[in-house]
Structure 1
Amino acid sequence: MWLRTTVYLFFLTTIVTYAQTPGGTINPTVPVQSGQPVSPSGGENPVKGNAKISGCAIDSTMTKAVEFANVALYETTSGKLVNGAVADEKGRFLLTRIAPGSYRLLISFLGYNAKSVDNIVLTKGQAKDIGVVRLTASTRTLNEVTVAGKKALVEDKVDRLVYNADSDLAAKGGDATDILKKVPMLSVDLLGNVTLQGSSSVRVLINNKPSSILAGNLADALRQIPADLIKTVEVITSPSAKYDSEGSGGIINIITKKNTLQGLHLDVDSGLGNRNATLGLNGSFRKGKLGLNLNGNGRLVYNPSASDLNQTTYLASGATPVRTNQHIDAFDKGVFAQYALGLDYDLAKNQSLTAGVRLGIRNLNQDQHQSTTILSNEPMALPSKRDVYSQNLSNSIDVNVDYLHTYAGTGDGSKKEFSLSTQYSQNKLTNNFDANQLDTLGLIKTRQRNLNDATNKEFILQADYQVLVSERFQLEFGGKNTLRQVTSLYQYLLASPTSTFATDDSRPSGSLTYDQNIAAAYVSTTFTTRSKLAIMTGLRYEYTSIQARTGGSQTGGSRTGGSSTGGQGSISIPDYGRLLPSINLSKKIGEGTTVKLAYTRRIRRPFIDDLNPNFNTVNPLNIRIGNPYLKPETVDRIEAGYSTQVKKTYLNFTLYTRLNTDDIQSISQRSDTLVGAVVTRVTNLGKEYNYGSNLFATVNITPRWSVNGNIDVMYRFIQGLTLDINGLSTLISNQGFRWGGRMDTQLQLDKGWAVQANIGYRGKDINLQGYRIGFAQYSLGARKDFSNKRGSLGIAAENFLTRGMGFTSVLNSAQFDQDFRQYIYNASVRATFSYKLGSLNGAKVKKNKSLGDEN
């Protein structure tokens, strides 16, 4: 059914898309600096020959490509326009079929001063590489009004969508989630959980690399990354075969700021508000072949929250239900820090070495005051009170060393490239809590402690080789091996008000060791036809072997000064291999319209939180436990896209469908040992269908004022096994629509002022056993740049019209009904400050720039 429905939808989409697209072949045009296209003189065909000119357009101050720059070739003597081209997304351009003679090359793009390369003399059949051409940003003064070229907030590239966080004023002083909630196709709930086109199974990279910072709870990890450190966010829904298959929903690549200016340089960013405070330093030194980058960022967060739980559990047919009411008041306090040291060194003209060390610290503490009433046949009972102090700690390190060797071609730029990458990562996670059970007078009756230490270690070795076989065909292949080890130690202790802690024999204790070895190989090809059809195909094979074992109950353990008993038990998890094909088609129609069609197969392996068998009872009515027996989830995804530029408006429309098998989801059931409690486990549910669409538009009303809008709609069908009232497995399903949208506007004012406003809504979201209601978020920001362009002052406010927000989750099954409402007091106002110190001498241009910019 999924396949038939999908084929029908995309066949219909293709017919409609091409019916609305003007036909015919459009002759290449060469836009001049004003942005208005012109054709070769008199409409004649360019001068024919067999010589070539190639090069690369680079931003002079940022050492980045000027994507889609305009390239025009003029005869020196007559000044006649004879040839032209548009650079690709990496700034590279190639002009072919040129007759012998003397020429002048003009390279231009909106927001840059045109650059002329004179006295280019070509002989018959010559292939001339003019190398790197640096364009400088243009600024014109008209009656005391400064107009400068500025980067768009959102850019659409061949295989990804890019959100430029530098242009986001309201996120300054926040964290990564404040950025991600404004990125098209992404959605972030009030707890910081991220979904990509409705899927929570996303692979998050930092600078094209995995990071141990992101191991464990992703929402908490993203709070470690300050918004001021983020340069861009790339959303990749149909990754090529070069990327790991993990992240069935797609990839989010967070690119951090890196300075490439010569000399010593230091950026200072800070913020202070009613919910957080930040301080960040980003320094660099570059001289000759050596470049160093060092940054350190710290954040303090302080935020109250609350929740109400109304729950009914059904013990058996005909038995009296148990009703439970609970109210929690809580306060979160956290310290987040991140430090990174990067080095790059040019070993030779065509060889470079890069290395980096990244440290991450998370220290999040929460105080909870729980008041619970459990009712059955007896009259209203007095509520029981429980105070809980929980710790969510993380210390992570990533170390990487990468080598790149490019091989010069015969005139068309770099023809071959070999890269070797290594990375070691380690993340130590601690999730402990202390709970005091109180009597009616508020005095301690008993004390409980849960100790849970987990470690995630990973070593990666990867080799890649690229070759530009011809002007239209590129071949890439490589291999990768990932060694991963996850360990978890967990234990419950019990004490009276005055005694020391001792092992609680009524609670499960033990350990988990989970070793995973992933061997992968891939091949990828890119072919561009003369009719501007780009075909990217890939095939990746991954073989995963797993060795897992559990430890027996602990009767003291080293952490309490005693000894531990219990043997090791092996978990039988079969090895598995997966063949993962991908194909991306992109057809350029004219100069402003592109049609795309893509198919990918990806998998999701369980995260450390999914595997952790610790019986977490921070809230004894809502208990969570992991599952080390999880299988990988497999996802088949088809996507069709249409994008066009109509005058000052850019439109991007996407249709997608996704089939998940062995879906990794949470399932809840009543507890057989704790009356009135519900236990949530992670399991392979069954299957899930998703059909969705996304529409993004940006309108440049004036050169100073832009508006961006995003609307997404998704239909979800999910099916899996749960337990009936007698504890027997039964097949259930749920389905429904979810929609959401956001609007963002930016306005550049005189004298360095800029303002930005954002509003977004996320609709009702369903899962197998229930749903969660929708919610809205909004923000407003303003910034004043200093006259010397080295610094700025700003103010940002979020959800400031109310104290906070509440949203409700509803779960229903044969065993229980649950209504859980959370209150997030996220109204915030903060002031921000940034300043640049040091040299502002031009950037160093690396001659051995890679053929690709993927991981």
Structure 2
Amino acid sequence: MHKFTFFVLFSIAASVIPASAQFPMGGAATPKALPGTAGDQSPKGNSKISGTVVDSASAKAVEFASIALYNKKTGQAVDGTVADEKGKFSLTKVLDGEYRLLFSFIGYGNKTVDNITLTKGQDLDLGVIKLAANVKQLEEVTVTGQAALIEEKVDRLVYNAEKDIAAKGGDATDILRKVPLLTVDLDGNVSLRGSQNIRVLINNKPSTIIASSVADALKQIPADQIKTVEVITSPSAKYDAEGSGGIINIITKKNSLQGLNLNVDAGVGNRGSMLSLNGGYRKGKAGFTIGGFGRGSYNTITKTNLEQTSIANGIATRTSQAGDGDSRGLFGQYNIGFDYDLAKNQSITAGVRYGVRNMISEQDLVTKLYTNDVNTSTSSRFVDARNLSGTVDVNLDYLRTFKPQQEWSISTLYSRNDLNNNFDANLMNGGGELTSRQRNLNKNINQEFTFQTDYQTPIKKNQLLEFGAKGIFREVNSDFKFLTAGRTGDFITETDQPSGALTYNQNIAAGYSSYTYTTKSRYTFKGGLRYEHTFIDASTETGTVGVGNYGVLVPSVNASKTIKGTTLKLGYNRRIQRPGLAQLNPNFNSANPQNITIGNPELRPELTNNFELGVSKNIKKTYINATFFGRATNNAISQVRQPSDTLAGAIVTTFENVGKQHAYGANIFANVAATSKISVGLFSNVFYSIMKGQAIGEGGLSEEISNSGWNVSGGVFSQATFKNGWGAQAFGFLQGSQVQLQGMQGGFGFYTVGVKKDFKNKKGSIGIAAENFLSKRFNIHTELNSSQFNQVNDIYLYNRGVRATFTYKIGKMTMDAPKRKAKGVNNDDVKSEGGGQQQSGGTPGGSQPR
């Protein structure tokens, strides 16, 4: 509790107190000139004073507490020090005389030890010094005992995932479902305030694995390795311009410990199992980390019912389709890291991370076609789809710190994703006899290199200037083929279906400047300007794709003020959203021939203006946050559906820059500390969306379409801690229907409960969690329509599950004082499958989240 309060107070102080006026970690009581500094001219003696500083309630060490030594006669500070990680302190070379000691630390009341008399050569051990918590100060900053779950900072909301016990053994999707402001559907697609145009980072760094599919990437990140999730709704100019909805930064657990350690985590359940090994070794200036995580999913059953009618060439065809599906997969992530302190104010960080995803889905489809209500054909189709990928990220970063808040960094990143998204289909007639076969081969290579440099410096006592430059060199290659074969024999290329290759080179040059000003009355203003120029060279086998170069100027303004415990925040920013691989790739995906998807390599970016007003306040034991926002997007990338001219009853979906999307709404979150050990959280997301676009009408002519409506979602979560290491947590979420340009997508629900028991030595724990155990299945009911088609789709998900978890820590570590490490690259510029994005990270003011 006290550590958390310290970090909250220290973060607030760092954001409003100029660098030249900030005190060391111990607080204001530290003398201005300590021995060994340029200003210290105190004569030396040969006496010594030592002792240990502890919390009066828990008896735990108070790390980095400040100790100041005052001359009792003159009242002047003559010496001082800071306690180590065990609370121990020592003042040496002290002259004989009479003194008093002042002990202080943020979150604790000051304590004075008087009547200290030293004789020449005396070694005085004061023993244990107990500091009591400053209760009034705690209540002004945080909800007592529970605020560590949710933190609100100037530009972001932070969810402390390490407090979550129910998600242990799961993946990042289980964590993000519980983060206020976010919505995660049952397929793992993430949206922020109703927008899937977001950036997702891992430890402030992007990855090409995110660019291909956010939903699949999240399955590779173990839930129990996530420390915090940061939701940034109004990014400053320091962040990449990409991501109209905002930024999600997932911070995994790190340590700055001395020694050797190894953490073992395991879980087994009826729908998935996992094993994770993470270790580290640190000696002096160097540190090494190594980790591996593997997760298998199985028993994932899906049933679908599709009824649709399409009109092509003046003929109406009705499709009735039923499907039974099953999927299984293996997900892994392996990493090795190294950091080294070149000097007291210089460090380098390097790392390699490899991720693998092997997802296999099988589905039986029975399709019946009707013309004028007469059954014209019945067929069945067995589809074996394989989504296989391997991703490698290599980074090397350098950080030079000159003085508090003045620093310069260089960051580099190479990332490559090899993705194969293929399927094989066996086609059978109504009697179940094999008639033909189909195969779609879709191989993609997405690689990029990023170079970035940033500099920040304080100006006077209440201003901060930041500027930097960045270059991204990206190349996407896609080779796709559609093959057919008879009942036997070799596959041959199908000339009637598109096959070929896409080469997409995208280079981005960017520069930014940001300025922060804090007034004497504690108003904080932050404004910035960023310019990004995108160079595109794209081609297919038929020639150059008509996408030109473009530049965009992105302004951002943020302001905040705290008045009598109420914090007000106002923000505006402009964002750009570039199309992603899934939307650009012209591969003809006909795994379900009645619903075909094909990308458009000529897509242009979309631009969004965002406005928000936030209010937050602590009312006794309740923390309330309400944010009102508006979002306007022009040239929006929208799905365009139309009947197929060649396949009876089929609907073809592609992407076009034909939409306008406006949204206005509010996010409300409340956390209630019922007792010091029990908390309950409530959150709701409500917004009204207006969509306009184009579709294919009668006679093949384009027609204007529009749709609007309310989107509502909300949830509740609670957690409790008990004696003897027991803890429990519960979570429930309900998503209402979502407005689409051509209809409505049905809602869904999700809930989970978990119990955990820590071992007495705190080195391990066991737990059990269950999800959706009261319902057999969920039904997502979607209705889409236009003048040329009508579609009703029901997807039934069978996701009842239970899992047991186990964790154990091996090795003994000692805490090393936290040090700033070199920053990493933050890429924010590709729209990914399902709209999910990767985002830039870093904290305004220059401090990276840890």
Fold agreement, TM-score > 0.5: yes
Structure 1 distance, partners of 2:150, 2:373, is: 61
Match of 1:245 in 2: 241
Alpha-carbon spacing, 1:76–1:313, altered in 2? closer, same or farther (3 Å) = farther
Match of 2:359 among 361, 364, 367: 364
Deviation at 1:776, TM superposition (A): 1.4
What do residues 252-273 of structure 1 show as CA deviations (whole Å, max 9, x unaligned)? 0000111221100111111100
Indicate whether 1:314 and 2:303 are aligned: no
Deviation at 1:441, TM superposition (A): 3.5
Indicate whether 1:644 and 2:617 are aligned: yes
Q: Choose 662-671 or 272-281, whichever is displaced more.
A: 662-671
Alpha-carbon spacing, 1:394–1:137, altered in 2? closer, same or farther (3 Å) = farther
Deviation at 1:727, TM superposition (A): 1.0
Match of 1:330 in 2: 325
Match of 1:504 in 2: 494
Structure 2 distance, partners of 1:70, 1:639, is: 39
Structure 1 distance, partners of 2:159, 2:301, is: 31
Deviation at 1:777, TM superposition (A): 1.0
Indicate whether 1:736 and 2:731 are aligned: no
CA contact (8 A) 1:204 1:253 kept: yes
What is the 5 A alignment of 1:817-828?
817-828=790-801
Alpha-carbon spacing, 1:243–1:52, altered in 2? closer, same or farther (3 Å) = closer
SS in 1 for 2:567: strand
Task: Tell me the amino acid that sits aligned with residue 377 of structure 1.
Answer: N
CA contact (8 A) 1:384 1:438 kept: yes
Match of 1:716 among 670, 689, 707: 689
Match of 2:165 among 159, 169, 175: 169
CA contact (8 A) 2:309 2:649 kept: yes
Deviation at 1:320, TM superposition (A): 4.6
CA contact (8 A) 2:109 2:132 kept: no
Structure 2 distance, partners of 1:653, 1:230, is: 26
Runs of at least 5 residues in structure 1 that lack an aligned partner in the other structure: 1-30, 37-50, 83-100, 120-134, 141-147, 409-413, 553-568
Structure 2 distance, partners of 1:463, 1:102, is: 48
Match of 1:347 in 2: 342
Indicate whether 1:153 and 2:126 are aligned: no
Match of 1:604 among 577, 597, 600: 577
Match of 1:666 in 2: 639
CA contact (8 A) 1:349 1:847 kept: no
What is the 5 A alignment of 1:123-272?
152-272=148-268
Match of 1:655 in 2: 628
Task: Tell me the amino acid that sits aligned with residue 448 of structure 1.
Answer: Q
SS in 2 for 1:213: helix
Match of 1:458 in 2: 448
Deviation at 1:293, TM superposition (A): 1.1
Alpha-carbon spacing, 1:116–1:490, altered in 2? closer, same or farther (3 Å) = farther
Structure 2 distance, partners of 1:766, 1:107, is: 52
Structure 2 distance, partners of 1:407, 1:852, is: 13
Structure 2 distance, partners of 1:584, 1:70, is: 34
Match of 1:281 in 2: 277
Match of 2:422 in 1: 432
Deviation at 1:666, TM superposition (A): 1.3
Deviation at 1:635, TM superposition (A): 0.6
Q: Choose 151-160 or 326-335, whichever is displaced more.
A: 151-160
Structure 1 distance, partners of 2:468, 2:318, is: 58
Structure 1 distance, partners of 2:735, 2:631, is: 20
Indicate whether 1:587 and 2:561 are aligned: yes
Deviation at 1:798, TM superposition (A): 0.9
CA contact (8 A) 1:259 1:293 kept: no
CA contact (8 A) 1:76 1:104 kept: no
Deviation at 1:415, TM superposition (A): 4.6
Deviation at 1:102, TM superposition (A): 9.1
Structure 2 distance, partners of 1:459, 1:159, is: 28
SS in 2 for 1:726: helix
Match of 2:783 in 1: 810
Q: Choose 479-488 or 216-225, whichever is displaced more.
A: 216-225
Match of 1:387 in 2: 382
Structure 2 distance, partners of 1:359, 1:640, is: 40
Task: Tell me the amino acid that sits aligned with residue 233 of structure 2.
Answer: T
Structure 2 distance, partners of 1:454, 1:251, is: 26
Match of 1:54 among 20, 23, 31: 23
Structure 2 distance, partners of 1:205, 1:614, is: 27
Task: Tell me the amino acid that sits aligned with residue 625 of structure 2.
Answer: N
Structure 1 distance, partners of 2:523, 2:218, is: 38
CA contact (8 A) 1:215 1:427 kept: no
Alpha-carbon spacing, 1:723–1:76, altered in 2? closer, same or farther (3 Å) = farther
What is the 5 A alignment of 1:530-569?
530-552=520-542, 569=543
Task: Tell me the amino acid that sits aligned with residue 737 of structure 1.
Answer: W
Deviation at 1:136, TM superposition (A): 11
Deviation at 1:682, TM superposition (A): 1.4
Task: Tell me the amino acid that sits aligned with residue 162 of structure 1.
Answer: V
Match of 1:529 among 515, 519, 529: 519
Task: Tell me the amino acid that sits aligned with residue 225 of structure 1.
Answer: I
Structure 1 distance, partners of 2:194, 2:457, is: 37
Deviation at 1:838, TM superposition (A): 0.6
Alpha-carbon spacing, 1:53–1:614, altered in 2? closer, same or farther (3 Å) = closer
Deviation at 1:224, TM superposition (A): 1.4
Indicate whether 1:377 and 2:372 are aligned: yes
What do residues 575-633 of structure 1 show as CA deviations (whole Å, max 9, x unaligned)? 1111100011010213x321000001111111111111001000000100111111101
Task: Tell me the amino acid that sits aligned with residue 167 of structure 1.
Answer: K
Deviation at 1:377, TM superposition (A): 3.4
Alpha-carbon spacing, 1:522–1:694, altered in 2? closer, same or farther (3 Å) = same
Task: Tell me the amino acid that sits aligned with residue 340 of structure 1.
Answer: N
SS in 1 for 2:215: helix
Higher relative contact order (CA 8 A, sep 6+): 2
Alpha-carbon spacing, 1:632–1:854, altered in 2? closer, same or farther (3 Å) = farther
Structure 1 distance, partners of 2:383, 2:759, is: 48
SS in 1 for 2:698: coil
Match of 1:402 in 2: 397
Alpha-carbon spacing, 1:436–1:78, altered in 2? closer, same or farther (3 Å) = farther
Structure 1 distance, partners of 2:694, 2:232, is: 32
Deviation at 1:286, TM superposition (A): 0.5
What do residues 659-684 of structure 1 show as CA deviations (whole Å, max 9, x unaligned)? 00111121211111111000111111
Match of 2:83 in 1: none
SS in 2 for 1:152: helix
Deviation at 1:33, TM superposition (A): 11
Task: Tell me the amino acid that sits aligned with residue 327 of structure 2.
Answer: D
Structure 2 distance, partners of 1:742, 1:839, is: 40
TM-score normalised to structure 2 length: 0.83
Deviation at 1:250, TM superposition (A): 0.3
Match of 1:108 in 2: 106
TM-score normalised to structure 1 length: 0.82
What percentage of aligned pairs have identical amino acids? Answer: 48
Deviation at 1:70, TM superposition (A): 12
Alpha-carbon spacing, 1:796–1:71, altered in 2? closer, same or farther (3 Å) = same
Structure 2 distance, partners of 1:653, 1:74, is: 46
Alignment length, in residue pairs?
A: 737
Structure 1 distance, partners of 2:596, 2:197, is: 22
Structure 1 distance, partners of 2:339, 2:242, is: 29
Match of 2:301 in 1: 304
Structure 1 distance, partners of 2:195, 2:370, is: 38
Alpha-carbon spacing, 1:107–1:497, altered in 2? closer, same or farther (3 Å) = same
What do residues 376-396 of structure 1 show as CA deviations (whole Å, max 9, x unaligned)? 037335631111100111110
Match of 1:45 in 2: none
Match of 2:81 in 1: none
SS in 2 for 1:519: strand
Task: Tell me the amino acid that sits aligned with residue 846 of structure 2.
Answer: G
Alpha-carbon spacing, 1:695–1:155, altered in 2? closer, same or farther (3 Å) = same
RMSD: 3.0
Structure 2 distance, partners of 1:358, 1:802, is: 39
What do residues 647-670 of structure 1 show as CA deviations (whole Å, max 9, x unaligned)? 111111100000001111212111
What do residues 112-154 of structure 1 show as CA deviations (whole Å, max 9, x unaligned)? x7787999xxxxxxxxxxxxxxx9999x9xxxxxxx9676211
CA contact (8 A) 1:33 1:108 kept: no
Structure 2 distance, partners of 1:797, 1:632, is: 42
CA contact (8 A) 1:33 1:114 kept: no
What is the 5 A alignment of 1:819-838?
819-838=792-811
